[in-house]
Amino acid sequence: MVTVGSIAAMVIGLVGIIICQKKQKTNGNAQGLAFVFLILILGGAGFMLKEQGIFGGDAEMNRIIKNEIRFTEARSQIMADYIGKTYPGQKVVIITEDNVENSPISKAAYEKMQAALTAAGANVVATEPIQLPESNPENPVPMEIALTAKVYNDIFDRYKDANIFVIMSQLPFAGPEFMKLKCWKFDPKKQSVVLVNGEIYNLKNIIAKGLVSAAAAMKTGPEAYDPDKAAPKDVQAAFDVRYILVTPKNIKDIVGKNPDLFAK
């Protein structure tokens, strides 16, 4: 039976791509974000195929999903290794998208992140899926309305003693909601966020201050998102095809080499 969650994930992904298309002229990360929403659609489609007992029946879809899993697992591994090495023993809360189990790609990325963080010595105290308002697939609530600062702030408030929030879901699109996020007022010596989806276009100064301790920025250009290009078996090589690790320590160098990643 096809679940409402898988349909909703595909609808939200499609809406997200449309929003990103509109924002491409003003946000250099929009292309990468659109790809994130494409992954959401693929994940929803993969779950539907699995539920109907035909997952793997479409060889091409199966190949693409498995390839994307390798890329996202590599991202989780590299990010987790960095967190464990740089912030050993600190309390970590992982924030995921809603119904992550409905997407084989998102599920694999989360499971790899959780396992790799633990192996790297981080203290994972909780996983919190974002709680979006219920939406009718036939009349979905626009993502820019449903995804508010409150969705995240409620989680931040529940874990005031956490040191790092690893955010594997999308942040609010709307500027006012984005700036209402309480994480931008953290004391960077005590708390910070890690942005797995790399939404850093307007965050150059925030990263420099240490409020974002790490981000997996998405590379621009079609070569980074070629669906026919197999993910390298080496984890670091797979990460390097798609992503750039941005931290407070390397932000100046990253800006110099990749000026299109940030607002002027």
Round to whole Å and give the CA distance between 50 and 42. 12
Q: Are 185 and 11 in contact (CB under 8 A)?
A: no
pLDDT of residue 122: 96
CATH 3.40.640.10: does it fit domain 69-261? no
pLDDT of residue 227: 73
- pTM score, whole prediction: 0.79
Cα 160 to chain centroid distance, Å, stands at 22
Handedness of CA 104, 107, 109, 115 (dihedral sign): negative
Round to whole Å and give the CA distance between 116 and 97. 19
pLDDT of residue 42: 54
pLDDT of residue 63: 84
Per residue of the chain (264 residues), give pLDDT as tens: 444 444 444 444 444 434 444 444 444 444 555 555 555 555 555 555 454 444 445 677 788 889 999 999 999 999 999 999 999 999 999 999 988 888 899 999 999 999 999 999 999 999 999 998 777 777 777 777 888 999 999 999 999 999 999 999 989 987 899 999 999 999 999 999 999 987 899 999 999 999 999 999 988 777 777 777 899 999 999 999 999 999 999 999 999 998 888 987
